[in-house]
């Protein structure tokens, strides 16, 4: 893994041992500003002239300067975004053990890949802390290196420098080694003192032992360009070739819920067709009887609808609802009227057969009660 990193296009950015002078780096960030006119970060540094007098000098650089000094071997035409589907597909292939929609952490990989993540986070990340978690753009850089894909690493680093230069208040001393490398490229005669050296922790045997001390749940072998310097990246958003004999990640990837971030874009899924082939679109006039447009005027333009889609205007629905209520009530009265008439007839017949001498008025009273109850 160490050999792969040294020979990669970020080899210089990872391993350059430039001595950092804190006062110069702080002076840069204290005065840094981004100019949209030339798309460069401008700053003011202090040096001594021939007579030993302090003078201010302008310092500026752009993406191209950063690319050249760090020797990142990318170009402005290279992409800066990647699909989460591709990045996480490769990470599953590298042995990622946690949930696919959770945080991507170093501890979720076997030792060799944990070492890779550690080097990338501490060398290229703009963060102040949380070094166990891998951010999306660091994932993209690792993916591009392992799969041998083109990627504009220079632009990503410059974007975070640009944001820091635009921040209000105190600026974070971001990328001190890269800033010092840029300063040394333009100024050879800045004052330097051993008391001004910024102490940075370098990778050591102790560091390697610390990040690899935990036993692996499963050791994952080297893949893609890590094991084969001549590796050719798969086409499209694939993280493996069809004839690859490594483990299959489809089951784990089936749970992925993609999200769009600054450096991620969802996998291209094609345009969704609203109208299925079995339900052709038909033209329905919008100005149905008593139907009006949203602006209160009768609408004459046809509207594309699905065959099985409701096309009634709200006014028609209300009118039909009132008619349905009226119709239901009338049916109820008619039906119960028929029942009452039938009961009336049965009561009259029964009264004549059982008690022919009973007064007619009482029969009528009983019938009236039956009618009232039925109603």
Task: Give the model confidence (pLDDT) of 72-121 as tens digits.
Answer: 999 999 999 898 889 999 988 888 888 888 888 888 888 889 889 888 98
The whole-number pLDDT of residue 138 equals 92
160-164, 198-202, 266-270, 295-299, range with the lowest pLDDT? 295-299
284 pLDDT tier (thresholds 50, 70, 90): very low
155 pLDDT tier (thresholds 50, 70, 90): very high
Q: Residue 1's CB: how many other CB atoms inside 10 A?
A: 14
Phi, then psi, of 165 in degrees rounded to 5: -70, -20
More confident residue, 199 or 346: 199
Strands (E), the chain: 33-35, 40-48, 54-61, 82-83, 264-265, 282-285, 302-305
Task: Give the model confidence (pLDDT) of 41-55 as tens digits.
Answer: 999 998 888 887 889
Task: Give the model confidence (pLDDT) of 296-351 as tens digits.
Answer: 444 444 443 333 333 434 444 444 444 544 555 566 566 666 766 666 665 555 54
Residue 375: pLDDT above 90? no
Residue 355: pLDDT above 70? no
Asked if 59 and 187 touch (Cβ cutoff 8 Å), the reply is yes
Count CA atoms closer than 13 A to 62's CA, side-chain side.
9
Q: How many residues does the chain have?
A: 375
198 pLDDT tier (thresholds 50, 70, 90): very high
- Residue among 148, 155, 149, 124 at smallest CA distance from 138: 124
More confident residue, 152 or 306: 152
Q: How far, rounded to the nearest angstrom, does the alpha carbon of residue 352 sit from its chain's CA centroid?
A: 87
- Residue among 226, 213, 207 at smallest CA distance from 122: 207
């Amino acid at each position: 893994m160490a050999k792969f990193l040294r020979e990669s296009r970020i080899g210089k950015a990872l391993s350059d041992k430039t001595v950092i002078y804190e006062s110069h780096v702080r002076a840069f960030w204290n005065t840094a500003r981004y100019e949209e006119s030339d798309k460069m970060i401008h700053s003011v540094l202090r040096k001594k002239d021939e007579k030993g007098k302090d003078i201010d000098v302008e310092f500026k650089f752009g993406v191209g300067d950063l690319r050249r000094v760090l020797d990142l071997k990318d170009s402005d035409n290279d992409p800066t975004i990647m699909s989460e589907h591709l990045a996480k597909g490769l990470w599953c292939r590298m042995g990622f053990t946690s949930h696919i929609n959770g945080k991507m952490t170093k501890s979720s990989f076997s030792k060799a890949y944990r070492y890779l993540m550690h080097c990338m986070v501490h060398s290229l990340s703009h963060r102040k802390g949380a070094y166990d978690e891998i951010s999306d753009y660091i994932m993209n850089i690792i993916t591009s290196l392992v799969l041998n894909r083109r990627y504009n690493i220079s632009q990503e680093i410059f974007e975070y420098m640009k944001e820091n230069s635009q921040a209000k208040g105190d600026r974070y001393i971001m990328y001190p080694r890269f800033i010092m490398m840029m300063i040394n490229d333009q100024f050879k005669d800045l004052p330097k003192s051993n008391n001004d050296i910024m102490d940075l922790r370098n990778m050591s045997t102790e560091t390697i032992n610390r990040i690899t001390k935990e036993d692996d749940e499963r050791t994952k072998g080297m893949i893609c360009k890590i094991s084969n310097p001549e590796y050719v990246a798969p086409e499209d958003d694939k993280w493996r070739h069809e004839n690859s004999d490594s483990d299959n990640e489809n089951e784990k990837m089936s749970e992925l819920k993609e999200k769009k971030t600054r450096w991620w874009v969802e996998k291209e899924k094609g345009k969704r067709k609203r109208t299925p082939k079995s339900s052709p679109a038909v033209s329905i006039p919008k100005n149905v009887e008593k139907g009006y447009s949203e602006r209160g005027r009768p609408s004459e333009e046809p509207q594309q609808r699905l065959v099985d889609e409701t096309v009634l205007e709200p006014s028609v629905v209300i009118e039909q609802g009132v008619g349905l209520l009226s119709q239901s009530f009338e049916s109820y009265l008619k039906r119960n009227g028929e029942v009452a008439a039938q009961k009336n007839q049965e009561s009259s017949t029964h009264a004549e057969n059982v008690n022919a001498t009973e007064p007619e008025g009482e029969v009528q009273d009983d019938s009236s009660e039956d009618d009232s109850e039925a109603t």
